Every structure is written in structure tokens, then in C-alpha cells.
Chain A
Amino acid sequence: MPTKPETALVAEARDLSVHYQLQGGALSRLLGVGARRVKAVDGVTVELRRGEVLGVVGESGSGKTTLGRALLGLAPATGGSLTYHPSRGGTQEITSLKGADLRRLRTDVQMVFQDPSAALNPSMTIEEGIGHPLVIHKIASGDELHRRVVAALERVGLSPVERFLSKYPSDLSGGQKQRAVIARAIILEPEVLVADEPVSMLDMSVRAKILQLMLDLKNDLGLTYLYITHDLASAKYFCDRVAIMYLGRIVEIGPTEEIFAHPRHPYTQALLKAIPEPDPDRMVPRDLPRGEIPDAARPPLGCSFHPRCPVATPVCGWESRDLRALLEQHWVRDADVDYEAERSVVGDLDDLDRPQRTARLAGRDVAAVRDVLDRVRAEDPDEPLWGGVRRVGEHGGRLEVEFVEGVDPPLRAAGGVQVACVRYGEDAEWPDEGS
């Protein structure tokens, strides 16, 4: 029952980035070379409107959790800005908050965690645990504290309250623990709840109950939710708007109804196709993207999704690593291919691991390498990679495959939503006939 969101902004992220530096060896740190950065969140612009449920959907490694934590000031932003109540003059820039101000923010923004067993202090009773935020923020004590804990427990349905107050988290079932976590989150009367996979660790029979509780709380207390999940089905039911994330970026964002009725980004389409539905007429889906989410420290050139994209175009950013993947796929696909022989012709593949628009194969017998590539191409001529090949030639006694310069598409408006794909939008680099 998505409610109509009001337009006032609660929070706004502009070009927000959260990058993590990976530890290299001592020498590389000293020289500053080879230092790898993981772009957990990479230039995300999104607004959270009062009273709405904004879903952030993506696979693990997409940066959805980091985005949620950044909103609480738990993950340090390395670029861009994150403003709380931008309409009030933008004084609450989360990215620059420190100490007492940051603590004050945390009474307004609270988090519900994925694993309720890990989110509650095992050595605190439910009464202590749920009342703890009030103690930390020095808001209530004594009778007032007790009264508010009881009220919060009743709000989340943990009644009769006396049965729970003196219990420890380990005495509670999964659903009850998650209710306790929610009680602790709402006891400070926050404005925003960041809910990170709040039901994914619960049993089927109780998931719907917790979601219903969250909807009730939202309506009763006027909350705004950022709902982080990998589960498109619950997002469809629960959210007013949905943002699909892939490798640190939002690739599609818009009203839930439109995203699910007309998914545009190939990644959104793939996710929807992959969800196992309890429908006896459905068969195992066969035309799914290959591979897995790439290493965020070494993202693909061009569009991050292109190596897995079934409808990739010549301008999506083809590069050396894609050629390696294609050769490996070729050796997997056909049992009759003489792998040992072809491998020795093509030579060492490790050179291809460095992302480059021109792939140089190590094999010394150029004509033979060309033969192998021709065989791979003949096996699957429709493979989108071949469309991106600009030139195959010889250079310095090696075979070189040069690819078309790729584009990294920005989010652009397309039919009521925003999509980051070369096929969509006003200035689409590769307009889709159907769009």
C-alpha cells in the first residue's frame, strides 16, 4: 500500500562517494604505487522524501549497505555531499558532522540491522538494550526510561511486556529479536529508519509480519524509510521508489510501479528474470547474464555491467579482460576443443588482466592466434564483444585486438525513470529502437 510521498526532502546525497583504500604491501604504500581503491559508493545522487519508502536494491558488493551507512554518518564520505534537511538551509551536512552534532543526527536517523542476533547486546536484558539509546543520549532515566521502553515494546507488538522485559536476546525467536531491534530504533523517535535487509534472515512465515509491522510504524509515527535489500519481490511490495545499484552506482531509479512494469536497464531486467517465483508454470530461466559482480577495486571499463550484459553494444567499453573471459568461456563450452593446444598458441593470458582498450595476445605465431580467434568467433558470432572490435592487427610480432572507445553512461531521464545505459535517454549513445 504505497502512500503518496510528500515532496519535502529529508536527506539529499549529491555525487556522494565512499572510497576505501586497500592495504598494499609496505613498499607500495611507501611509494604510493599500486594502491587500490574500492569505490563502494561512486558518485551517487539521490534524495529521500518525507514519508516515503525508498528501496535500494542490489547484489552483495553493489554498495547498497555502504550508502545506507553513509546516511547515518557511519561510513565516511570521501567525496560529494550528504545533506540532512537541505530545505532548512543545508546546515546539517552529514559529511562534515563531528562529535556531538553527529550524535544528535543519530537520534534523527536510526538503523535496523540484518542479523537481529548480532544487533542486540547478548549481555543486556531486553529492557536495558532497548532503553540504552535513551541512556546514551541522556534523554531519559528512572521511571521515565522504564515507561518509554514499555511503550516501545508495545508499539512493536512485544506484549505482554512483562514477558520480555527481563529476557535476554538469546531467549527470543528470530522474529521477536527483530521486533526488539525495531523497538530500539524507534525509541528515540527518529525521523528516518535505515533498514538493511530487515527480514532476509527470518523465516518465510514471519517475514510478512515484520514488514507489516514496519508499514504500520511508518504510518503511525510518520517515518521515512531507506529500505536496503537484495530481494526485489519485497521491494516491489514495500517501496514507493526503487533505486537499483550495481558496483557502487545507481543504474536505474524511479517509481516502483514503473520500474517493475517496464524495467529498462539490462541489469534490472536480469534481476527480475532471475527471481525464483513460486509459480508452477515457470521453468528454470536460461538466458541470464553470465559471470558475477566484478572486483570493485578494478571495475570494468565503460559501463560496469557490460561484461555480463546480454544486449551490450559496441560502445559499452570492451577491453582486454573481456577477451580473456571469452577465450575461457570458449574452452568451457565445447568438450571437443583441444584446450592444451589452443592455450599454448594463444600464450600467457595474464597480460590481458590489465584493463586496456587494446588487447595484445602473448602467442608468437600470429597466424595461429588469429585462427583460434576466428574459431571462437565462428562458435558464437552473435557475441556482443565482436561488435566492439575496431581492428585486429599485428604489432611487434603479436596479435592485437583494438576495441572501440567505450562510454560510461550517466543516469538520464527515460520515460518517468532515470537509467544509466547507452540505450536510453535524450543523448543516448546507442539509442534502442524500442525505447
Chain B
Amino acid sequence: MSAPVDPDVVLQAEDLRVWYGTERGPVRAVDEVDFTLRRGEILGLVGESGCGKSTLGRGLLGLLPEGAARDGVLRFQGRDMLGLSRREQNRLRGNELGMIFQEPLTRLNPLMRISEHFSETLRVHEKGISKDEVERRSLEALRVMGIPPTRFRAYPHEFSGGMRQRLMIALTLVLRPSFVVADEPTTALDVLVEAQIIRILHDLRDTFDTSLLLITHNLGIVAEACDRVAVMYAGKIVEIGEAAEVFRHPQHPYTRELLRSTISLSTTGLNFIEGAPPDLTTPPPGCRFHPRCPDAMAVCATREPSALDMPGGSRAACWAAAARHDLLTLDAEESAPLEREELSVADEA
């Protein structure tokens, strides 16, 4: 199998799957996911809780718990990631692959000064680095994150929540990784601080040339900071494309309904999606969204739609969208509106 030679593609996933073994059988938390990430690009990953977005983020870095498995194709800078040994994966993490977590305080050692966090990080990953070099690199990373050098020897508890998240980002970026996963990096923060952090993440590519997968449930953040967006539902990417295009012309009904149910400053009426995401041990047949979909047709309940390129440039897996753009033809029986079961609050998210 020859690796792609496009030097601009940092990460490439094809038919990527991640599953867990549970008492009730295997859970396919990430199912047949395809996407690429280019150098310096920010890809937003959105969806309801339990849709598999965090699992996908961790799966890309190989940070899955015992009992989880990956399959399919995952290439990082042309290298096959799934074939690497545990040791080789470890060597890549830090230097090449980075992760920014949601709760910074739990990721910092309360007994270590910030300077010690940096020297440990740098010494583990870059053997034989000099003391001066450690200090120079650390202070530069802090400066880019807007943390004054006067705080270099402080302890984690002496920082506010927003500052701690900046510290975490600085600790990740001091190793200059090419690809970073940020999992809900601003969820615990206030609006103004959140906006500061989003700006920092948005500007990363200018300073560090980093590609970023930004996992969030906040569509506003995606609209402001991301180049492209992938919408996940029940383990699958149902739509992916340029953020502006997806927000202007959502192709998948799930994307559309998610946008409609978001309460924003321009909200004039309340909308919501009936029902709840399915249990992933027994996902519904056909399109996984069909039980909640207002556009569902007979075909949706039996056959799974494949992802197709839509005229606007985004890619979506939806029978109705494909038929609307004449990408395929459905007969009268297939396109008959689906008799939907009444969804009660009993099935609410």
C-alpha cells in the first residue's frame, strides 16, 4: 500500500473504526470515519454528548483505554499509525501529536512549579536539552500564550482557570507538535476568557504551523474559529465541509436541526430535536438518524446512505440530500415519507 505523497496532508483517516467491549456487547463508538486534515488547518468536530467525538479525538492519538480497539486506515504525515508499536506511538506523542484537555487543573501537578512542568516535558521528549534552552523555549511558549515571565516559578493553584488553560496549551506547544487535539478546551471557562482562548487556538497556525482538531459542542466556536467542520452522529461523520458552507447550506438534516436548536442572540423561536441519540450497542438500521429525522423516507429505515459530494463542496451521508441534488434516483416506494413512531419525552436526550 503506497502512502499518499501530498506533503500538505498531515492526517488522513479512512474507514477508521474504534470500538469498546462492554457487558452488553461491542460498542462502535467511531464507525467508518473518513477525513483528512491539512497543514495549519483547524477542523471542528461537533455533535451531542455520546456521539463519539471524544473517542475519535483520543483514537487519533492512540490514547484509548484497555479494551478498546482501532481498525481501518490512519496515516500521520504518510506513516501508517495503526501498524506502529506501543513504543513508537509513545515516541510520536508529545513531539508530533499533542492533546489539550477540558479541565486544566486536573492535568497539572499541584506540587510542581510551572518551570518544573516545562523542564520535565522538554527533558522527557528531547533528551539532552540544555538548561538554558529549556528556559528560553518555555518562556517563549508562555509569552505567546500571554503569560508574563514573572509567573514562571509559580504553582498551578496560583493561576486562574483561564491562565491554567493557557499553561496547558503552552505545555503542549512547547514541543511544537504538528497535530493537536483540543477536547472541549473552553467548556469550563467564562465567556470572555473562552473568547481569549479561542483566539489563541485560532492563531496557533500562524505561530506554530499546527493542525488542530477542535472538539466542541458549541457551534458558535466552530463558526468563528474553524476552517472546516465535521458533524458526528452516533459514531459516524454525517456531514463534513467548509465551515461557512456547512453553516449556510447544511445538507444533512441533523446538521440543520442542530443549528436550528442552538440558542443564539438571533434566536426568535425555540426549536429542538425530538428523541435522543441511539444506544450504540444496538444502533438503528439504515441511517442512524432516521428515527429522529423530520425528512425521513422509507429507504432511510432500511439502507444506510453513503457519503456523497454535494454541489456546495461539502460531503454528506443522507438519502434525501442526495436525491435533492440528483446524485441518485429513488423510486416512489423508497422515497415515500417514513411513518414515524411517536417520540415521547420518554426517549428524550
Contacts and interface: CB of A to CB of B under 8 A. Distances in A.
Is B truly associated with A?
A: yes
Interface of A: 59-60, 157-160, 163-164, 173-176, 179, 202-209, 211-212, 230-234, 236-237, 260, 270-286, 288-289, 292-293, 308, 328-329, 331-332, 335, 339, 343, 349
Contacts of B313: none
A284 B199 contact: yes
A418 B49 CA distance: 40
Contacts of A272: 265
B223 A233 contact: no
Nearest to A293: B190
A231 B221 CA distance: 14
Nearest to B162: A292
A207 B150 contact: no
Interface residues of B, number: 60
B221 A276 contact: yes
Contact of B267 (A205, A237, A276, A288): A237
Nearest to B346: A163
30 contacts: A59-B190, A59-B192, A173-B276, A174-B349, A175-B349, A179-B345, A204-B48, A204-B217, A205-B272, A208-B271, A208-B272, A209-B270, A230-B190, A230-B191, A231-B263, A233-B263, A233-B267, A234-B263, A274-B195, A275-B191, A275-B265, A278-B222, A279-B247, A284-B199, A284-B224, A288-B196, A289-B192, A331-B143, A339-B139, A343-B149
Contacts of A292: 160-163, 190, 192-193
B216 to A, nearest CB: 9
Contacts of B161: 292
B49 A277 contact: no
B13 interface: no
B267 A173 contact: no
A328 B148 contact: yes
A281 B243 CA distance: 10
B248 interface: yes
Interface string B155-192: 00000111100000000000000000000000000111
A280 B247 contact: yes
Interface stretch (B73-81, B126-134, B254-262): B254-262
Contacts of A175: 345, 348-349
Contacts of A276: 194-195, 198, 218, 220-221, 223-224
B148 A278 contact: no
Nearest to B201: A284
A159 B265 contact: no
B199 A278 contact: no
Given A173-B276, A205-B349, 7 more contacts: A159-B346, A204-B258, A277-B264, A278-B264, A280-B248, A284-B199, A288-B196
B294 to A, nearest CB: 13
B265 A278 contact: no
Contact of A270 (B192, B219, B346): B192
Given A209-B272, A349-B150, A233 B143 contact: no
Contacts of A328: 148, 150-151
A277 B223 contact: yes
Contacts of B162: 292
A331 B224 contact: no
B261 A205 contact: yes
Interface string B120-149: 000000000000000000011001001111
B225 interface: yes
Contacts of A236: 265, 267
Contacts of B202: 284
Given A270-B192, A276-B224, A339-B149, A332 B143 contact: yes
Contacts of A233: 263-265, 267
Contacts of B193: 59, 292
Contacts of B273: 205-206
B266 interface: yes
Given A271-B191, A272-B265, A282 B223 contact: yes
A273 B219 CA distance: 16
B244 interface: yes
Given A59-B190, A60-B190, A205-B48, A160 B344 contact: yes
Given A276-B220, A277-B266, A158 B345 contact: yes
B222 to A, nearest CB: 8
B199 A285 contact: yes
Query: Which of A202, A211, A284, A285 has the largest number of chain B CB atoms within 10 A?
Result: A284
Query: Which of A174, A272, A332, A343 has the largest number of chain B CB atoms within 10 A?
Result: A332
B270 A271 contact: no
Given A204-B258, A279-B247, A284-B202, A237 B270 contact: yes
B265 A59 contact: no
Contacts of A159: 344-346
Interface string B264-299: 111110111100100000000000000000000000
A208 B346 contact: no
A412 to B, nearest CB: 24
Nearest to B271: A208
A346 B193 CA distance: 29
A332 B265 contact: no
B302 to A, nearest CB: 25
B191 A274 contact: yes
Contact of A277 (B151, B258, B265): B265
Nearest to A61: B190
A173 B48 CA distance: 13
A274 B194 contact: yes
B154 to A, nearest CB: 12
A273 B196 CA distance: 12
Contacts of A160: 344, 346
A204 B216 CA distance: 11
A274 B263 contact: no
A405 to B, nearest CB: 28
A161 to B, nearest CB: 10
A286 B248 CA distance: 23
